[in-house]
Amino acid sequence: MLGAQRLTQALEHAVNHDSLTGASTRASFKAQVARLPPGPKAVLLVDIDHFKAVNDRFGHQAGDTALCQFAMRLKRNCREDDIVARFGGEEFVVLLHDVEIEAAQAAAERLCAKLREAPLVLEGQAHRLTASFGVAILSDTARLDDALARADAALYRAKNGGRDRVCVADG
Q: Which residues are catalytic?
A: 90
Q: Based on the number of CB atoms within 10 Å of its own CB, is 132 exposed (0-12), middle (13-18) or buried (19 or more)?
A: buried
Q: Residue 164 and residue 93: Cα distance in Å, rounded?
A: 16
* Residue 96: closest CA among 109, 77, 113, 79: 79
Q: Which residues pair with 118 in a beta bridge?
A: none
Phi, psi of 51, deg, nearest 5: -65, -30
Residues shown for the chain: 171
What lies within 8 Å, CB to CB, of 71 at 6+ separation is 18, 21, 22, 23, 84, 86, 92
